[in-house]
Chain A
Amino acid sequence: QVQLVQSGAEVKKPGSSVKVSCKISGGNYAIGWIRQAPGQGLEWMGRIIPFAGTPSYAEKYQGRLTITADMSSSTVYMQLNSLRSDDSAVYYCARVGSTGSYLFFAYWGQGTLVSVSS
């Protein structure tokens, strides 16, 4: 059974960093990070193939986002630096499916609310 369990809610100051974890059980496949600002749509941020270790990022997050994987604990991390108020959002990790193109998100974590406020 595939499960993705994310770390708890965070409250951060502008300019600081946040690191959200996603513990994965059930298979070794690419993990993506998607965020959703309040009342807004889904936005793909980046992804990593844990065993390969090479992440890819959306252009708008280049230089500010780091996605890493710790195979020993089956955990993927998303760190976002230089936080701004408009980074306040629910952050999801999601695992790709194990059939077809492997380019869709079949399993999702429960989401982590990150609030950025002074």
Chain B
Amino acid sequence: QSALTQPRSVSGSPGQSVAISCTGTNGDVGGHDYVSWYQQHPGKVPKLIIYDVTRRPSGVPDRFSGSQSGNTASLTISGLQTDDEADYYCCSNAGSSRSVFGTGTKVTVL
């Protein structure tokens, strides 16, 4: 199972929006509506920010939103804040109770 493909980095100024793509195959992203997204600050434990493509856990700001089209899922961060600077990982179910993570994207707030 190959890792899902994410851009290595994206950047934006405070208040702007950035989008992170997550590309897989029909066997993972495209075959299910089970993409989740995680935020990880340096040296910290990953934190769930989006699940089942579009759903936000309680406590996660609505500045974070998810979508999916075919084999590509996307995370959009609107109204970028300095605390959003972190690594972001997508994750998809890959059938047979297996999961696969994305390669990870570093978000830089300029």
Q: Which residue of A lies closest to B57 (CB)?
A: A106
A101 and B100 within 8 A (CB): no
A42 and B45 within 8 A (CB): no
Query: Chain B's nearest CB lies how many Å from the CB of A44?
Result: 4
Contacts A47-B97, A108-B45, A111-B45 given; indicate if A42 touches B89 (C-beta within 8 A). Answer: yes
Size of interface on B: residues with Cβ below 8 Å to A:
29
Query: Chain A's nearest CB lies how many Å from the CB of B2?
Result: 10
B36 and A44 within 8 A (CB): no
Residue numbers in A under 8 Å from B55 (CB-CB):
100
Does A105 sit at the interface, judged by CB under 8 A? yes
Question: Residue A97 contacts which of B48, B99, B103, B104 (CB distance < 8 angstroms)?
Answer: B48
Contact with A along B24-50 (1 / 0, CB 8 A): 000000001110101010000111100
B101 and A104 within 8 A (CB): no
Residue numbers in A under 8 Å from B101 (CB-CB):
34, 41-44
Q: Which residue of B lies closest to A100 (CB)?
A: B52
Chain A residues with CB under 8 Å of chain B are: 30, 32, 34, 41-44, 47, 56, 58-59, 92, 94, 97, 100-101, 103-106, 108-111
Closest 3 interchain pairs by CB?
Answer: A104-B36, A41-B104, A104-B51
Question: Can you name 16 extra interface pairs (CB under 8 A) apart from A44-B91, A103-B36?
Answer: A30-B97, A41-B103, A41-B104, A44-B98, A44-B99, A47-B97, A92-B46, A97-B57, A100-B52, A101-B52, A103-B34, A105-B46, A105-B48, A106-B57, A108-B46, A108-B47
